[in-house]
Amino acid sequence: MIKALKLYTGAALVLSTFFLGMKNHEPKKRVLITVHEEAKRIDISVNGKSFTSYIYPETLKKPVLYPILTPSGKPVTRGWPLDPRPGERVDHPHHVGLWFNYGDVNGHDFWNNSNNISSSHKGPFGTIRHRSVDKVVNGRNKAELGVSMDWLSSMNTAIIREKTTYIFSYKGEQRIIDRITTLTALEDINFKDNKEGMFAMRIARQLEQPYNKAEKLIDSNGNISTEAVLNNEGVSGKYYSSEGKNGDAVWGTRAKWVMLNGMIDNEPVTLAIMDHPSNLGYPGGWHARGYGLFGVNAFGKKSMGNSSEEFNYILPKGKSITFKHRLLIHSGSSVSQEEVEKEFTAFAEN
């Protein structure tokens, strides 16, 4: 009996040590989402380093991801108007971070809305408001954030309910943001053919294409001045599309993906936006502007010059539509178009 008890106790000790060892060697959650509800900000980090934040202050007319950083901490998004950096353009105050919206939804302009609307934009304007955090799942190689938003008319009436899942992941020096967006109509919705849309970002000055026209820039003291000719020192971006277009020729064309190559402080950086084959209007039309607007539009066809007919999409009340997009950020080494095509193939299969 005593011998049997000793054997049982020894076995239990071995098992407890084994399970304790397993616990001590559990994979660390390297992609972390941290919610700061009072600050209206949700931070995402990779291996202890800041990657991006989901922010939704009342001063913005839509929730955005801002800033977006490379693994070495270099911002690929423009700082102005939130955190101006010397030498940046001060145009389009509604271009903040990475966002999703559209320029004509039941006659409402969700794209151009900001606290500093240009007189050229007459409205009426729509606003997208964050409503809730629905899911936070941290993990070793990826993390998921689920949120709900309302698309509000100029009368502050919700016309679309949005449910979005962000998936943040990484491999090596590569960072990936997947955005899965489901829009549910709370009344009959008309997405009228418009060039202003949909999944888009405003990039850092260094990733713009060299440009020589006069522009308003901000200096190190926060002063704004008009430069007759832009200083393009350190500006090195160039667009390439899956369909063989490059540079300014990419704008308005349809493509599966578009990549942007450039340098930030002598570090190679590639951004690639991918349109999923399941998306309406695939392949989308590209808002690839040399001055730094980079995005893909499912609906704009005639307005973007690639069709003689308008593409107006009606989403009936109670019905939903889902969009999937990916932003790939690679830094530290050059990325070829063949490599981006390979990454797109993997994305398209999901």
The mean pLDDT value for 259-268 works out to 96
- In the predicted structure, residue 155 carries a pLDDT above the cut 60: yes
- In the predicted structure, residue 3 carries a pLDDT above the cut 60: no
Among 59-68, 72-81, 231-240, 268-277, whose mean pLDDT is lowest? Answer: 231-240
What pLDDT score was predicted for residue 121? 87
Contact 333, 184 (CB under 8 A): no
* CA dist., res. 270 & res. 280, Å (int): 26
What pLDDT score was predicted for residue 69? 98
Q: Which amino acid is at 193?
A: D
What pLDDT score was predicted for residue 7? 45
Contact 325, 197 (CB under 8 A): no
* CA dist., res. 260 & res. 77, Å (int): 13
Q: Which helix (H) or strand (E) holds 49?
A: strand 49-55
Higher pLDDT, 227 or 93: 93
Q: Tell me the average pLDDT of the chain.
A: 91
In this predicted model, what pLDDT tens digit does every residue of 11-48 receive, in sequence order?
A: 444 444 444 444 455 457 799 999 999 999 999 999 99
Q: Are strands 49-55 and 41-46 parallel, antiparallel or unpaired?
A: antiparallel
Contact 237, 209 (CB under 8 A): yes
CA–CA distances in Å: residue 347 to residues 70, 143, 207, 303: 21, 17, 24, 28
Contact 88, 82 (CB under 8 A): no
What pLDDT score was predicted for residue 22? 45
Q: What are the residues facing 128 on neighbouring strands?
A: 151
End-to-end CA distance of the chain: 59
The mean pLDDT value for 60-65 works out to 98
- In the predicted structure, residue 72 carries a pLDDT above the cut 70: yes
| pTM (two decimals) | 0.90
Question: How confident is residue 229, by pLDDT bands cut at 50, 70 and 90?
Answer: low
What pLDDT score was predicted for residue 107? 97
Domain ranges for the chain, please list them.
Answer: 30-348
Question: How confident is residue 307, by pLDDT bands cut at 50, 70 and 90?
Answer: confident
- In the predicted structure, residue 199 carries a pLDDT above the cut 60: yes
Tokens 């943040």 appear where?
A: 168
The mean pLDDT value for 182-190 works out to 98
* CA dist., res. 104 & res. 110, Å (int): 7
* CA dist., res. 36 & res. 38, Å (int): 6
What pLDDT score was predicted for residue 13? 46
Contact 230, 90 (CB under 8 A): no
**Backbone phi and psi for residue 22, each to the nearest 5 degrees, phi listed first:** -60, -40
Q: Which CATH class is domain 30-348?
A: mainly beta
For the chain, the 3-state helix, strand and coil shares in percent, each to the nearest 5, are 15, 45, 45
**DSSP class per residue in 246-295:** BGGGGTT-B-SEEEEEEEETTEEEEEEEEE-TTSTTSSPEEEE-TTSEEE
Nearest to 117 by CA among 100, 96, 94, 88: 94
